[in-house]
Homo-oligomer: A and B are copies of this chain.
Amino acid sequence: MIAVMSGTDDSGDTAKWVVDVFDKNCPSRHTHELVSGKWGSLALVALREGTYRFNALRRRVDGVSEKMLSQTLQGLERDGMVVREAQNTIPPHVEYSLTPLGRRVADRQFAIIELLEGEYDEIVAARERYDAK
């Protein structure tokens, strides 16, 4: 899949360029790795359930370290997938939620999880067949 973009390139000229995750130099690769990655995908799907505070999300996404959660949330915010709303209080109170775009990505990530969980017996069977050899 290849998409064409218009904008400004290094030379400062208006140009068309191609968005293609299969190209290792395409900046969309970075976003793809973020939203598909281990923690990014789980964070997005969790946020489909509603607004989460930092530590609540950390408990929901079992196994994330604080470092990785804050790192991926910053990335997701930067790429317009989540919104961060902080009340300037002590103790801090920060809420994370999905943007419309984040919701669309999260829905598609959920479809994958739903499929994997639903067909998990088939996966286990395949694995047993493979290991038997």
Contact = CB atoms under 8 A, between A and B. Distances in A.
B115 A104 contact: yes
A interface bracket (residues with beta carbon within 8 Å of B) = 35 or more
16 contacts: A1-B114, A2-B117, A3-B118, A5-B120, A7-B121, A7-B124, A19-B120, A31-B123, A36-B36, A36-B109, A36-B112, A37-B37, A79-B123, A80-B130, A101-B119, A101-B123
Contacts of A22: 42, 46, 60-62
A34 B126 CA distance: 15
Contacts of A78: 126-127, 130-131
A62 B23 contact: yes
Nearest to A111: B108
Contacts of A47: none
Copies, count: 2
A131 B77 CA distance: 11
A122 interface: yes
A85 interface: no
Nearest to A117: B3
A35 B116 contact: yes
B105 A115 contact: yes
B37 A21 contact: no
Nearest to A131: B78
